[in-house]
Amino acid sequence: MHANRAITRPMTTMWQNNTKWLPLSLLGCICLFALPAGAEEDGGDDTSKETASSSSDDDIERIEVTSRETLGSIALRERVSVSKLEGWNDLELGEAREGMKLIVKSDEKVESDHDKPLPVVHVIQKGDTLSEIAGRYHVSARQIQQWNPDLDPRYLQLGDRLKLYVPGRDGESVSWGQASNGRLYNGVPLRRAEGFEIVNVAEAYGTQRVVDLLKAAAADVQARWPRSPDLIVGDLSHKQGGPMPPHKSHESGRDADVGFYHRGNVQLERFREMTPETFDARKNWHFLKTLIDTGEIEYIFVIYELQKQLYEYARSIGYTQSELKDLMQYPRPRYQSKGIIRHVGGHDDHSHIRFKCGPDDRRCQ
Ligand SMILES: [Zn+2]
């Protein structure tokens, strides 16, 4: 069920037929930047078959909904939008029940940002050494050898082409380094989207993956409860990452401060301290659980008292103690930092969500 069915083009075909070469003189060397075929007119090459838009039976997959999956988590996994899933399956309230067979049109899947980006090509010049090239492109010599297995670092040949997967060079957003000492390349803004109010757009940049996951989780809550208020979003990262005082992290596009749903569908204007009386455990649970179900979350800070609300709600809808053990710290003592959802003081008016390193992120820790 969790098979990764990304539409991927064979790298060799892409290399030969699906790129055009654009000479650029940069950094004092002659470099060739690979652009995707989409940047040119219709390529008309043989790879276009794989993304052709004519639907046939081959393009339709039937996905069985397993226990506790939501439309949002299925949309994330299958790389389609929640509204498309609703449309294909005639689901009005966005309800996906266990055992239901859902249609997914595979020809409409978007290519994942997790797919390997196109490489930058460095043409070896006189005097080049591997460590010098590595330093220039902010990658390691070992990585260059991995990307170019035929390369013999002792005998670099003039005119040979090295493939380099350089952060951000191809327009992909990349988280670089540590959340507390990092950068963000090609940061993507989390704009006012369905289900969100952004406090400061200039401080709400993340990687494409982080932004997509947040949007999908909020869309899932909106699909279940159409009158839900928008979530208040505080800081993610600056467009290019880097220090964001007073935060200790938020430097690499993998952190997000997100407010809580208020009971009674009250629309908040900014973060508001929550109490058990105002905290909408049901919607907050579904939002956070949808994110956690993607497997992309490292941890979420929520104060202990509000964790208790989440825990009791989850128990009331059938989750067992052992199912919740890895998910949240509660009911372990608040000083035991275990579970994805855990206590850090101050997180009574918002949660701090840390996303794991993505496959394209560099030197990510
Ligand atoms: Zn934070």
- The enclosing H or E element of 163 equals strand 161-164
354 CA to middle of ligand 1, Å?
Answer: 8
247 CA to middle of ligand 1, Å?
Answer: 6
The pLDDT of residue 255 is above 90: yes
167 CA to middle of ligand 1, Å?
Answer: 24
166 CA to middle of ligand 1, Å?
Answer: 28
Radius of gyration of the chain measured on its C-alpha atoms? 23
In sequence order, what are the beta bridge partners of 120? Answer: 33, 164
250 CA to middle of ligand 1, Å?
Answer: 7
342 CA to middle of ligand 1, Å?
Answer: 13
301 CA to middle of ligand 1, Å?
Answer: 8
237 CA to middle of ligand 1, Å?
Answer: 10
Dihedral of the alpha carbons of 153, 155, 160, 166, in degrees to the nearest 10: 20
Interacting residues of 28 by C-beta distance below 8 A, sequence separation 6+? none
Which tokens hold the place of 153? Answer: 């670092």
Helices (H), the chain: 11-17, 71-78, 82-89, 130-137, 141-147, 208-224, 281-293, 304-316, 321-325
Average pLDDT, rounded, for the chain: 78
Instruction: Kindly report the three-state secondary structure assignment for every residue of 287-338.
Output: HHHHHHHCCCEEEEECCHHHHHHHHHHHHHCCCCHHHHHCCECCCCCCCCCC
pLDDT of residue 108: 65
Between 220 and 107, name the one with better pLDDT.
220
Question: pLDDT for 283-295, tens place per residue?
Answer: 999 999 999 988 8
Summarize the confidence of residues 46-53 as an average pLDDT: 35
241 CA to middle of ligand 1, Å?
Answer: 14
pLDDT of residue 18: 32
104 CA to middle of ligand 1, Å?
Answer: 36
Question: pLDDT for 293-351, tens place per residue?
Answer: 888 999 999 999 999 999 999 999 999 999 999 999 999 999 998 999 999 999 999 99
At position 259, the amino acid (one-letter code) is G
255 CA to middle of ligand 1, Å?
Answer: 6
d(CA 285, CA 259): 13
364 CA to middle of ligand 1, Å?
Answer: 18
Summarize the confidence of residues 219-225 as an average pLDDT: 86
249 CA to middle of ligand 1, Å?
Answer: 7
- Domains of the chain plus CATH, in order, are 53-108 (3.10.350.10), 174-355 (3.30.1380.10)
pTM of the model: 0.61
The pLDDT of residue 102 is above 70: yes
Dihedral of the alpha carbons of 220, 225, 227, 229, in degrees to the nearest 10: -50
78 CA to middle of ligand 1, Å?
Answer: 29
Which tokens hold the place of 66? Answer: 């397993």
Between 174 and 120, name the one with better pLDDT.
174
CB 144 within 8 A of CB 164: yes
Summarize the confidence of residues 25-40 as an average pLDDT: 32
d(CA 187, CA 253): 7
310 CA to middle of ligand 1, Å?
Answer: 20
d(CA 238, CA 215): 18
347 CA to middle of ligand 1, Å?
Answer: 9
